[in-house]
Amino acid sequence: MSAEFVRRYGPWCVVAGASEGLGAAFADGLARRGVHVVLLARRAELLDDVASRIRKERGVEVRTLALDLADPSFAERLAAGTEGLDVGLGVYNAAYSYIAPLLERPLDDTLRVIDVNVRGPVRFVHALAPSMVARGRGGVVLMSSMAGFQGSPRLAAYAASKAFNIVLGESLWAELRPKGVDVLVSCAGAIRTPNYLATTRKEAPGTLDAAEVVEQTLGALGSRSMIVPGGVNKLARFFLGRLVSREGAVGIMAASTKGLQ
């Protein structure tokens, strides 16, 4: 348990997209620090499984809210579901994506990417951050992606949505830091989650375990506006951002996404 972490970001945290993979790892990492957690996702059974394991292993309180993060009423339902809880940290890990050229998928698929990955974090912040500002402490973590640093063929909508989150998070960091609320954008590379392992034939260089991404992200909260977890990923970010042209970076991403299915 980290008493300082609980004092600054507790006693409750909300994790969106917590039914498996990185979101479940965030919930576990926060519970290990002594923070009670509220888990959000669509699939109630998976949420219940994660909640039961965390209660047993970490000894904290866990609540679950089965919500569709693309639903326009998401913010209101989240506010109602956390009423009476002193929420000091929100982690928006939820994301929706598909792997295909943009025009080869129905428009509704792309609009769902926007609903979950763009509108979702905005609603999330509006639901949780005002109470943090009012008490003068708290934090928000937005999970972005290295795909958001440049165009990513076959992930066009996803990459664009993650670029939105980078700029949103950096802006909120400047706006809320003077009010005592820390904001961090975590721009992760490939992560060993069930979804990633199901869509790739070969791991990308720099692929990390979910728990390592969580530890590096939470460790950076309060000290900066953005983090790229993993040494290999930091080098890749420097190379793509500084040493090659934008067009060259897009070409490299195109070669990378060919390995996804």
Task: Go through the domains of the chain in sequence order and give each one's CATH number.
Answer: 3-257 (3.40.50.720)
Count the Cβ atoms, other than its own, within 10 Å of residue 75. Answer: 18
- pLDDT of 250 reads 93
Backbone angles phi, psi at 154, to 5 degrees: 75, -5
How far is it, in rounded angstroms, from Cα 45 to Cα 28? 17
Catalytic residues: 158
41 touches 17 (CB < 8 A): yes
Sequence letter at residue 149: F
Average pLDDT across each block of 10 residues of the chain; the chain has 261 residues. List them in order.
90 96 97 97 95 96 95 93 96 95 97 98 97 98 97 96 98 98 96 72 83 97 97 93 93 84 65
206 touches 230 (CB < 8 A): yes
| pTM, rounded to two decimals | 0.94
Containing H/E element for 125?
A: helix 120-135
- pLDDT of 200 reads 67
For residue 178, whether the previous peptide bond is cis, meaning omega lies within 30 degrees of 0, is no
How far is it, in rounded angstroms, from Cα 150 to Cα 241? 8
- pLDDT of 202 reads 73
- pLDDT of 46 reads 95
- pLDDT of 260 reads 73
